[in-house]
Amino acid sequence: MLIVVMLACLSALALWGGNLLVSTSTVSGVYYNGDKNSKNVSLMINVYWGSEYLDQMLEILKENDVKTTFFIGGTWAVLNEDMLKKIYQDGHEIANHGYHHKDHDKLDEKGNLNEISTTHTIIKELLDVEMNLFAPPSGAYDKTTVSVASSLGYKTIMWTRDTVDWRDKDADLIYSRAIKNASGGDLILMHPTSETVKALPKIIEWFKQNGFNLTTVSQTIEPSS
């Protein structure tokens, strides 16, 4: 009974305030947030689908002079070279989101290595950039994942709050989850969806009006970078 109560409490905390919040990891090399003493926050965007919404998202980001980080899936990159190049040419940070969108905590060392390194090689060939941030698909990782990522020169990136925009197609809910109880160092997870496009201008406006600096994940976890 005690265990059930504890699990219920943890679930409630994770969904506190209508946001899917996560606590700081105890695993070295994993980032759930950046520097809490700064005013930097990042709207991290994971891309495996939603290509039809990316032009609109990029235009909104450009109009508001915001740079952020796009975590790119390898299979998507292969099929969307032009859009990938447009994201990069617009000045956004490009990061690794694995190749097949697998749960990395279910992969052995070789499987983790293949997923991360294959995507690295593809994007290196397309953009000539050396990525160093890896976001595990579905947030699924274990110590093997982190160890392999580190051996390849990667930091493993999770999130502070999740807009859950892939599931809940409601612009007002996405907006609320992005901004409620916001603090410096927040990493805010989103995806290219129609409702995210609707919410994005309001999200950007709120952060700017409240003195936050919307920037890349690298600059949020290490402001001097």
Rounded to two decimals, what is the model's pTM? 0.88
Mean pLDDT, all residues of the chain = 90
Q: What is the pLDDT of residues 4-25, one digit of tens each?
A: 333 344 333 333 333 444 434 4
C-alpha span between 209 and 206 (Å, rounded): 5
User: Tell me, what's the pLDDT at 17?
Assistant: 36
Mean pLDDT of 120-133: 98
Kindly report, residue by residue over 145-170, the tens digit of the pLDDT: 999 999 999 999 999 999 999 999 99
pLDDT digits (tens, 9 = 90+) for 203-225: 999 999 999 999 999 999 987 65
Q: Tens digits of per-residue pLDDT, 165-208?
A: 999 999 999 999 999 999 999 999 999 999 999 999 999 999 99
Residue of 3, 98, 87, 16 lying closest to 50 (CA atoms): 87
Per-residue pLDDT of 65-85, as tens digits, reads 999 999 999 999 999 999 999
pLDDT at 61: 98
pLDDT in tens, 47-70: 999 999 999 999 999 999 999 999
In terms of Cβ atoms closer than 10 Å to its own Cβ (0-12, 13-18, 19+), residue 103 is middle
Confidence of residue 29 (pLDDT cuts 50, 70, 90): confident
- Give the span between the Cα atoms of 20 and 153, in whole angstroms: 29
What's the count of helices (H) and strands (E) in the chain, helices before strands?
Answer: 9, 10
CATH superfamily of 29-221: Glycoside hydrolase/deacetylase (3.20.20.370)
Q: How does residue 94 score in pLDDT terms, banded at 50, 70 and 90? A: very high
**For position 195, what pLDDT does the model report?**
98
